[in-house]
Amino acid sequence: MSEEKNLNFIEEIIEEDLKSGKYDCIVTRFPPEPNGYLHIGHAKAICLNFGLSKKYGGYTNLRFDDTNPVTEDTEYVESIKEDIQWLGFQWKNESYASDYFETLYGYAVKLIEKGLAYVDDSTPDEIAAMKGTPTEPGKNSPYRDRSVEENLRLFADMRSGKYSDGAKVLRAKIDMASPNMHMRDPIMYRIKHAHHHRTGDAWCIYPMYDFAHGQSDSIEQVTHSICTLEFVPHRELYDWFITQLEIFPSHQYEFARLNLNYTVMSKRKLLQLVNDKYVDGWNDPRMPTISGMRRRGYTPEAIRDFCDRIGIAKRENLIDISLLEFFVREHLNKIAIRRMVVFDSIKVVLTNYEGAVEMLEGEDNPEDENSGKRQIPFGKELYIEREDFMENPPKKYFRLYPGGMVRLKHAYIIKCEKAIKDEAGTITELHCTYIPESKSGADTSGVNVKGTLHWVEVTNAITAEVRLYDRLFKVEDPQHEEGDFKDYINPDSLQVIKTVYAEPSLKNAKMNDRYQFLRKGYFTLDNQDTHGRLLFNRTVTLKDAWAKEQKKAMNN
């Protein structure tokens, strides 16, 4: 029996198309322009396109939309492929719009022959002036009625390099009075003497998006060409070219792009952040790029769950990044290996602890029955967090204070006897006693305490660096604020803690392992070369501290 699940509007269309026999194999494509790294918005489009073809037993092509020779680069091509595979998807064919330049040229010739395209010598300004406005019709170009023969000759000359950039364009001959501005004799080809990352110097004319995209879809027999809402007005032209050329009937469908708060999502803006060194490259863990999220420790599962959950909308909206973080936490809680790490330490000396270091046991992940256990050294001298001690605690303070007791996780209950201070009055050490009968798992002490602290034994502690991240922007929607979006960058988005103390089992931390540092959040090793140093990125905090802070700020 088929699942009685709510279908989204594209699934409804696809099921209808399969039922009516319009198509028998569902083919989608993901068409990035290789002019930047992919971001979480692209992840949404990837999950949608690959998800649909998978659900309906078809396939998805990865097609690089490389019709603009100036901004494209093979570095981007490689990163895009890596990111899609990391997200867990595999394309059937890898193609390039530039592979179709010869076919597209042939299509253009066919339209000229049908009297549906012409070479225009007008300057860009003249063309713009003749375009009209949404309420007034445009004017026909004086070159509009050139003969087919003359157009064929001029178009061939454009290709052979006879003219300089901007001297001529090829336009479709449609209707200068159309209420749809895109139908007012749109430009199909422009002259650009530029080196292309794949075709080199073979071409000096390049097709415009509208003349490349739909035709490439059709060549690849894409059935459902899914794009974002800004292409709604292009659809009429998409259909017009396919109808006039009498080629495979691909169809375009639109959904709302994903916008996330506290970040920007246009590649142009992200490139500025990289070039102006506001961030450490495209894969900086604060970036909304897929490579940044990977470096930060987000999992593909969490990103896919998030994309599924937000669904597809027909109206633009701003999604709260906390929702993405919710899915990240949810997944990491299931898979993360638990470890203890002290960020800002104060030393505890157990005055009644005699003898050598002993080994205690702690489970790697209480959420996972199949996970193992690790050995944790315990001894006379320990580090705990400085913030876990207060000399004069308020009521209901369950951490450590003079005379107070806490449990050390996986270990014993300790009691603080005395805070030792230096001449300046700063606390340097805590003298405590421990209850030998209170060992975790074998506690016969009968003592009950409310607080549990993480800790690290001093002589076996290893050191590491940790990096904590906050929102990259101070405001929810930096692109729609007054002035430059870069003025709204959060100056405190990165906090580096050079030396933290960790339990020794973290020495063997592996790339791609996910950790929960108890009470500190989820962490992963940085995937850049750190020259043998242990460097952990905080993926996300344990709780949504941000939402809490915001609420506090609002109440103040």
Give the residue numbers marked as catalytic: 33, 257, 267
Residue 31 contacts which entry, ligand ATP, Mg ion, none (Cβ below 5-8 A, type-dependent): ligand ATP
- Cα diameter, the chain: 103
| Shortest Å distance, C-beta 446 to ligand ATP | 59
Measured between alpha carbons, how far is 556 from 67 in angstroms, rounded to an integer? 53
Interface with ligand ATP includes 186 (CB under 6 A)? no
Judged by CB under 6 A, the stretch of 9-17, 29-37, 197-205, 424-432 that binds ligand ATP is 29-37
Q: Evaluate whether 524 touches 512 at the Cβ level (below 8 Å).
A: yes
Interface with ligand ATP includes 266 (CB under 6 A)? yes
Measured between alpha carbons, how far is 397 from 30 in angstroms, rounded to an integer? 55
Interface with ligand ATP includes 32 (CB under 6 A)? yes
Interface with Mg ion includes 228 (CB under 5 A)? no
| Shortest Å distance, C-beta 268 to ligand ATP | 6
Which residue is closest to ligand ATP by CB?
41
Binding string, 64-83, against ligand ATP, x = CB under 6 A?
-x------------------
Q: Which of 14, 26, 27, 45 binds ligand ATP (CB under 6 A)?
A: 45
Interface with ligand ATP includes 477 (CB under 6 A)? no
Please identify, using beta-carbon distances, which residue of 152 and 310 lies nearer to ligand ATP.
310
Interface with ligand ATP includes 265 (CB under 6 A)? yes
Site for Mg ion in 20-39 (CB under 5 A): 33
Q: Evaluate whether 438 touches 388 at the Cβ level (below 8 Å).
A: no
Measured between alpha carbons, how far is 234 from 493 in angstroms, rounded to an integer? 39
Give the position of tokens 């269309």.
Answer: 13
Calculate Rg over the CA atoms of the chain: 31
Residue 182 contacts which entry, Mg ion, ligand ATP, none (Cβ below 5-8 A, type-dependent): none
Residue 41 contacts which entry, ligand ATP, Mg ion, none (Cβ below 5-8 A, type-dependent): ligand ATP
Interface with ligand ATP includes 258 (CB under 6 A)? yes
Distance of alpha carbon 172 from its chain centroid, rounded?
Answer: 38
Q: Which two tokens stand for residue 17?
A: 């198309």
Interface with ligand ATP includes 317 (CB under 6 A)? no
What burial class does residue 367 get, using C-beta atoms within 10 Å of its C-beta: 0-12 exposed, 13-18 middle, 19+ buried? middle
SS3 85: helix
Measured between alpha carbons, how far is 275 from 357 in angstroms, rounded to an integer? 51
Binding string, 93-112, against ligand ATP, x = CB under 6 A?
--------------------
Q: Kindly determine how many residues on this chain lie close enough to bind ligand ATP according to the rule CB under 6 A.
A: 15
Q: Which residues contact 555 (CB under 8 A, 6 or more apart)?
A: none
Please identify, using beta-carbon distances, which residue of 260 and 540 lies nearer to ligand ATP.
260
Interface with ligand ATP includes 323 (CB under 6 A)? no
Measured between alpha carbons, how far is 304 from 317 in angstroms, rounded to an integer? 19
Q: Which two tokens stand for residue 355?
A: 């003898």
Binding string, 218-257, against ligand ATP, x = CB under 6 A?
---------xx----------------------------x
Q: Evaluate whether 377 touches 358 at the Cβ level (below 8 Å).
A: yes
Measured between alpha carbons, how far is 17 from 7 in angstroms, rounded to an integer? 14
Please identify, using beta-carbon distances, which residue of 30 and 118 lies nearer to ligand ATP.
30
| Shortest Å distance, C-beta 526 to Mg ion | 31
Q: Which two tokens stand for residue 545?
A: 């501290």
Q: Which of 18, 41, 122, 335 binds ligand ATP (CB under 6 A)?
A: 41
Give the position of tokens 């790029």.
Answer: 289
Q: Which two tokens stand for residue 443?
A: 């506690």
Residue 329 contacts which entry, ligand ATP, Mg ion, none (Cβ below 5-8 A, type-dependent): none
| Shortest Å distance, C-beta 282 to Mg ion | 17
Instruction: Please choose, from the candidates 332, 310, 267, the residue with its C-alpha nearest in 3D space to the C-alpha of residue 79.
Output: 267
Please identify, using beta-carbon distances, which residue of 188 and 264 lies nearer to ligand ATP.
264
Q: Evaluate whether 530 touches 511 at the Cβ level (below 8 Å).
A: no
Q: Evaluate whether 186 touches 207 at the Cβ level (below 8 Å).
A: no
Q: Which residues bind ligand ATP (CB under 6 A)?
A: 31-33, 41-42, 44-45, 65, 227-228, 257-258, 265-267
Interface residue list for Mg ion (CB under 5 A): 33
